[in-house]
Structure 1
Amino acid sequence: MVVDQEYWTMYFDGSLMKKGASIGLVFVSPLEVCMRYMVRLHFPSSNNVAEYEALINGLRIAIELGIRRLDIRGNSQLIVNQVMKESSYHNAKMATYCQEVRWLEDRFDNLELNHIPRRLNKAAGALAKAAFDRELVPMGVFASDQHKPSVHYKGPERADDGPSDLAPGADQPTAPSYLEVMELEEEPAIETDPLDDWKTLYLDYLLRDTPPMDKKEAQRLARRTKSFVLVEGELYK
């Protein structure tokens, strides 16, 4: 049952700490009612995996709630860029996570994914960091434990799944014994090859009314172009 035809807002954040990985989610309804979730991840993880788990868990919760229009906001530029096809994947594991997000996208009428500064995502970040605290779960927060990854990935389980956009000096964890040390590098550069330029898909659709051949990809593009506008041939969000 659809609970509302207006946009809900979802804030997501994943965190890797000494005690383990966890995620925080905050949903805000059109009537400004907040719903908060925290999930403890009990499997080998990394900061990027935790961010993807937060996004996927949030999408699944939204589907269960009957939400059909969702404005998603997170402070992981890397994950947002990968999902929006503005950045390439570092390895197959990240590609598998991104594909799961794309599959869940099709369950919504309208869905937007936007990057926001960390300072505007404090509520979700605080929930993620508090998940492993020994204190009681705060009133009104739904807490749970997840013992398996959200995706089935066939490959070596290791913590290094690519560059992370974790701020230098912020929550740099000492990795548990079952994880390799996560190396923090700069984010991968956005593809510059015109054939792979993500803007080309939008421009072809808006200027030449040329959608992708794949039906699902065409539907996804039609939803996303609503967030863009053309000004003198330049694409703006």
Structure 2
Amino acid sequence: MIKYLLLKMPPTPEPISSPNPTWKLFVDGSSTLIRSRAGLILISPEGFQVMQAIRFTFKSTNNQAEFEALIAGLNLARSLQVQHLSIFSDSQIMVRQTTGDYATKDITLTKYHALVKSLLAFFSTHTLVQVDREDNTMTDLLSKLIELEKDQLEGSVYFEELKIPAIEGQQIMEICIADVTWMTPIIDYLKEGILPKDPTEAKKLRSQAAKYFIEKDTLYKRTFDSPILKCIDPDEALYCMREVHEGI
């Protein structure tokens, strides 16, 4: 199945030499009485692919599943520091609501729409295009991979089980952001110039903060011999450790 997906590539991504190298994101979601699932494929300008299959343990409509797929893809692209993104989906409602061509009257979809708009703001440029289902074969097939058990999936497909809707998880995240973490003093200093009253602690913080910078409200650490590191809070660290040790 994975080999077939690789053969069903979309038009060749633009060369990396382009002034604005654009990533491509294909998303698809579906829901039945038995299961709800989603799939996404993120393709770099060089042609590198990240494929993800998602199963929902909660009930959702087709439209909600489409939004969940888009949100998962946007979060993935954001975590990889993508700046220019072209998004492709065969969901007319999801695309038209996001672009503003359709009004969003459903309360639940209104929440999804707001979350998507907030995530799109993190990208320098983006486009959202509706494609025919036959042109979105990759993600349609990927979403169906969720019917297999986790241990049956190929290693090149990342599996995720979503226990709550993204719109509920966003509310939880907003509460957590306000908590004080190890990053708080560094962020306060970089943003507002706030230092501890103790001169020794203030000197220590200035020296420490020189290794960090803030990009779009996210703290990163510079290193000499490795890539730039994204800083995370204790809850995110536990999540990462859990994901790694579960062997995803």
AA aligned opposite 1:90: K
- Is 1:107 the equivalent of 2:122? yes
Which residue number corresponds to residue 137 of structure 1? 153
Pick the structure with greater CA Rg: 2
Deviation at residue 27 of structure 1 after TM alignment: 1.0
- Is 1:150 the equivalent of 2:166? yes
- Is 1:124 the equivalent of 2:128? no
AA aligned opposite 2:38: I
Kept in 2: contact 1:68–1:108 (CA 8 A) = yes
Which residue number corresponds to residue 5 of structure 2? none
Kept in 2: contact 1:12–1:55 (CA 8 A) = yes
Which residue number corresponds to residue 89 of structure 1? 104
Residues of 2 paired with 1:109 and 1:97: CA distance? Answer: 21
Could you tell me which runs of 5 or more consecutive residues in structure 2 were left unpaired when the two chains were aligned: 1-15, 170-248
Q: Aligned in 2, Cα 1:138/1:18: closer, same or farther, shift over 3 Å?
A: farther
Residues of 1 paired with 2:152 and 2:44: CA distance? Answer: 26
Deviation at residue 87 of structure 1 after TM alignment: 0.6
Higher relative contact order (CA 8 A, sep 6+): 1
Residues of 1 paired with 2:31 and 2:93: CA distance? Answer: 16
SS in structure 2 of the partner of residue 125 of structure 1? helix
- Is 1:76 the equivalent of 2:91? yes
AA aligned opposite 2:155: M
Deviation at residue 28 of structure 1 after TM alignment: 1.2
AA aligned opposite 1:136: Q
Deviation at residue 17 of structure 1 after TM alignment: 3.1
Which residue number corresponds to residue 207 of structure 1? none
- Is 1:60 the equivalent of 2:84? no
Kept in 2: contact 1:73–1:114 (CA 8 A) = yes
Deviation at residue 40 of structure 1 after TM alignment: 0.6
Deviation at residue 131 of structure 1 after TM alignment: 0.5
AA aligned opposite 1:77: Q
Residues of 2 paired with 1:18 and 1:89: CA distance? Answer: 24
Matches within 5 A, 1:85-234: 85-134=100-149, 136-152=152-168
Deviation at residue 18 of structure 1 after TM alignment: 4.4
AA aligned opposite 2:51: R
In proportion to residue count, which structure has more helix? 2
Deviation at residue 132 of structure 1 after TM alignment: 2.2
Residues of 2 paired with 1:86 and 1:138: CA distance? Answer: 38
Residues of 2 paired with 1:145 and 1:131: CA distance? Answer: 10
Kept in 2: contact 1:19–1:132 (CA 8 A) = no
Kept in 2: contact 1:71–1:112 (CA 8 A) = yes
SS in structure 2 of the partner of residue 138 of structure 1? coil
Deviation at residue 149 of structure 1 after TM alignment: 0.4
SS in structure 2 of the partner of residue 38 of structure 1? strand
Which residue number corresponds to residue 218 of structure 2? none
Residues of 2 paired with 1:117 and 1:25: CA distance? Answer: 16
TM-score (norm 1): 0.61
Residues of 2 paired with 1:96 and 1:109: CA distance? Answer: 23
Could you tell me which runs of 5 or more consecutive residues in structure 1 were left unpaired when the two chains were aligned: 154-237
Which residue, 65, 78, 90 being the options, matches 1:50? Answer: 65
Deviation at residue 88 of structure 1 after TM alignment: 1.1
Which residue number corresponds to residue 26 of structure 2? 11
Identity across the alignment (%): 27
